[in-house]
Amino acid sequence: MSKLKTKRAAAKRFRFTGTGKILRNKAYHRHQLTHKAKKVKANQRGTVVVADGDAKLIKKMLPYGG
């Protein structure tokens, strides 16, 4: 049986926790930050766990993660 290839784009965007959950960065925090409220920008910091439906697809893209 041959090895599976990892989708490199997904590997750069997601990471696994020790328990196997997938983390992602929040969106809307790259540019045009001057007109956004401080509260909004603070909420966009950090990472969050991926939704279950998306996690299923991401696990296919990252066969050797988690």
Residue 1 lies in a domain: no
Per the structure, the complete domain to which residue 21 belongs is given by: 8-61
66 is a domain residue: no
In this prediction, residues 39-62 reach a mean pLDDT of 97
- Within-domain flag for 3: no
Task: Provide the mean pLDDT of the chain.
Answer: 96
Handedness of CA 2, 3, 4, 9 (dihedral sign): negative
How far out from the chain centre does Cα 31 lie? 19
In a domain, residue 17? The reply is: yes
Q: How many domains does the chain have?
A: 1
pLDDT above 70 covers what percent of the chain? 100
Tokens of residue 4, six digits = 């599976």
What's the pLDDT at 1? 85
Q: What is the CATH number of the domain that holds 23?
A: 4.10.410.60
Q: What pTM value is reported for the model?
A: 0.86
Return the amino acid letter for 44. Q
Q: How far apart are CA 4 and CA 37, in angstroms?
A: 44
